[in-house]
Chain A
Amino acid sequence: MPRRDGAAKVTGAARYTDDLAVPDAWYGKTVRSTVPKGRIRSITLDPAFDWRGGRVVVVTADDIPGENVVQLIRDDQPVLARQGGEIKHREEPILLLAAADRATLEEAASHIRIEYDAAQPIYDLDKATEVFSTVEISKGEVVEDLEDVEVVERTFRVGLQEQLYIEPQGAIAFPWREHGAGSREQGVTVIGSLQCPYYVHRALKRALKLTDEEAVVIQAETGGGFGGKEEYPSIVAIHAALLARKAGRPVRLIYDRHEDLAATTKRHPGVITHRTAVKKDGTLLSQDIEIVLDGGAYCTLTPVVLSRAAIHAAGAYACPNVRIRARAVATNTPPNGAFRGFGAPQSLFAAELMVEHVAERLGVSSVDLRRKWMLRLGDTTATGQKLTESVSAELVLDTALRAVPPIRPTAKPPIRHGRGLSLVFHGSGFTGSGEKKLQGTIAMEALADGTFRILTASTEIGQGTKTIFCQLAADTLGVGLERVSLAPQDTSIVPDSGPTVASRTAMIVGRLVQEAAEEIRERLTRERPPFTVEKSYIQPDSIHWDETTYRGDAYPVYAWACTIADVDVDMTTGEVRVTDLVTAVDCGKALHPVLAEGQIEGGCLQAVGWATIEEIKMKDGGYQNDRLATYLIPTALDAPRIRTILVENPYSRGPFGAKGIGELPMDGPAPAIIAAIHDATGVWLDEVPATPEKVLAACASR
């Protein structure tokens, strides 16, 4: 079945935020800090520019009608830093400008003078004093050095990564109009490129002091998100809304690539140390794991990222004794935030390479060791969750191994071939009681003309929400697809289905769509439309989670993947080319195999980029790779041949058995590639990205 938005996207008819023509709109711009830490001594409008006559609208922290806070987890991030206020990172928003044309806007921006009292920034994780959050997971007792026990200890490092959606961040704000004397409507409508309409809605209400009705958020066609448009769009939207309110006209605030790279959130870098104890026969005795993530200057979603990192840190393995100690600290870099995988790629990278190191110490095959350790039906995870269904570690491992041809014969120098494998799992849906607290809601209308309309805040960001929701409804109702439509993602029309994140859309929200369609089908046997059915998530009684002890059912279910990567390493240049990637994925049920494969292949390539070429070097708290000419992502030429094999081990509470797979493909490729590099060169890198410099240095120091 072709995707719903396919025709609009191949003809250029699809309208993304910056495609919307708004005749009387002004252009907005954000003026940002040039120091990583300090205090704003003064903000001056240089009189050399003519500020009079309303040519330019200037917004400072003093113009914020509500609270100067970006609503998220912790109230630490200001909408705009204020005069005399603290600066915690480079590119921190200080002041906003709008003008009728770009030339005036740029000229005005060049006449803003900001003076700082600079302070000493902190970048070193060991020296960081502020801790955003900690997580401790404990199962059994960690085994110390004993006779006949091998203890292997290794430290792994993972780097920053940019989501690099091809459409940069952007929003257009429309202030509501005055209606004659004394009846001014103070509301604002924001149209933007975003994943989570209700996150933006809450943020607007708080900063602009608006009621539920006075803030309206509409998602435009969105050119990629990958987590990068989970929380950051709230900032863009508030800024655009403040400018629009003060200007009394619509304002478009569209980032260019340089600003987007320099200022928006990245994947959390971190350091992960494992101490694993095994018997000589390979029996896994204990895992002692320490995780430190760099949150950057403000909290954003860091505690949740850390939580997911910690829960996945032991890998897809059954171990009787586990201790995971995780903390996320503050540094003076731009804040890190949501990015596909959300902490799990970081911790699974370490867990998977640890299997390799232990296998090497014992002199056994790492595949055999995985087979010995892997989670099976009835086993318990690090949080003590007993796995009762849809456990597929063995299934995906066998499937992937069967699918690869024998490794190619020895390569011609200076090229060496190598192959590596990884086995991962990824929790679908929100962690622990997240879904219970959230109570995501959808509605479905049965209309008098025999058609049906789905109302949900879940967004289409390329992954296929629009297609699979309509498909789920049509299949359940037993009607043709043409009779099902989807209401626009507009907070004044659709209920809060929760954010479009956490591999939850198909599995959690899709299930609500299916339940609503079932109820409509049943009611249609005795009732005439029109009528509306609403469905909210109800946590099954069988799911138990203790937030304080981190014990219990961390996720309703897990999706599983085994990835095998083949690489060519050029021993003279250190260049790594991933030539082939095979990934076997248990998605429960592939609702739409073409879309599922596409999502998996895209996620795999993002992981290949993270593992090989996507590098951000820091200088004085800023990113040196802040242009697309210096921050490289894989092109069609760099990309390996990616082969996806979908296997289906259904989940009883997923729609038609489906599990979430949005993030899973980001987890497996990086450790498989590092293992393949070891296979080719004999050296372990234990870090990503494996840039040519690092590969050469590792080979030289051998």
Chain B
Amino acid sequence: MRFTLNGRGVSFEGSGARRLLDVLREDLGATGTKEGCGEGECGACSVLIDGEVVDSCLVAVGQVEGRGITTVEGLADGGRLTALQQAFIEHGAAQCGICTPGMLLAAHVLLQEATRLDADAVREGLAGNLCRCTGYTKIIDAVLSCTK
């Protein structure tokens, strides 16, 4: 089967029942996508499938045939950080960093889709991604700084 990963075509041979998370991490070396709970509660494994935020631990790889996957590795453009990634660093939105990849992808979609974002909308948009370090304040600040 074939799909696109961060804009690049990849082919995968093996059981379509395997979790997308495992195929990304183990077969394709995209270890930026993390496993926090394995049951769709924490969002550490968030990826974008055709631009939508999905928990990759709940997706069988067979379901993504022909579709486009974006992981955290696909955000920066040729080594140049996006404004959002830069804001995460400057505002202290990443501490231990384990939730950061998923959080960035969820925030990325939020910034693309929303016409006007306020703190409440950011909270709602990131509610599927757990962070235990920051108390979310700095993450919300970072996302809002990109709306200006």
Contact = CB atoms under 8 A, between A and B. Distances in A.
B126 to A, nearest CB: 4
Contacts of A629: 39, 41
Contacts of B33: 12
Contacts of B94: 3, 6, 9-10
B109 interface: no
Contacts of A464: 95
B48 to A, nearest CB: 13
Given A13-B32, A598-B138, A257 B89 contact: no
Interface stretch (A115-123, A159-167, A176-184, A539-547): A159-167
A602 B129 contact: no
Contact of B92 (A12, A594, A628, A637): A594
A257 B38 CA distance: 7
B1 interface: no
B4 interface: no
A418 B36 CA distance: 35
Interface residues of A, number: 57
Interface in A638-664: 639, 641-642
A323 to B, nearest CB: 37
Interface in A1-46: 2-3, 5-16, 18-19, 21
Contact of A601 (B29, B88, B96, B134): B134
A163 B90 CA distance: 26
B32 A605 contact: no
Interface string A591-602: 000110111011
B30 to A, nearest CB: 7
Interface stretch (A66-74, A217-225, A509-517, A549-557): A217-225
A224 B89 contact: no
B20 interface: no
Interface string A243-265: 00000000000001110000000
Contacts of A14: 97
Interface in B71-93: 71-73, 75-76, 81, 85, 88-92
A165 B132 contact: yes
A11 B76 contact: yes
A167 B34 contact: yes
A257 B132 contact: no
B53 interface: no
B95 A602 contact: yes
Contact of B137 (A10, A226, A641): A641
B132 A3 contact: no
Contacts of A164: 132
B138 A226 contact: no
Interface in A593-641: 594-595, 597-599, 601-606, 627-629, 633, 635-637, 639, 641
Interface string A310-326: 00000000000000000
A597 B123 contact: no
Contacts of B128: 635
28 contacts: A7-B81, A10-B100, A11-B73, A11-B85, A14-B97, A16-B98, A18-B25, A21-B31, A165-B98, A166-B44, A167-B34, A167-B96, A167-B98, A223-B97, A224-B96, A224-B98, A257-B37, A463-B95, A594-B91, A602-B132, A602-B133, A605-B136, A628-B41, A633-B132, A635-B127, A636-B122, A636-B131, A637-B127
Interface of B: 25, 29-39, 41-42, 44, 71-73, 75-76, 81, 85, 88-92, 94-101, 104, 119, 122-124, 126-140
Task: List 4 tightest A-B contacts by C-beta distance, closest first.
Answer: A12-B32, A223-B98, A462-B96, A9-B97
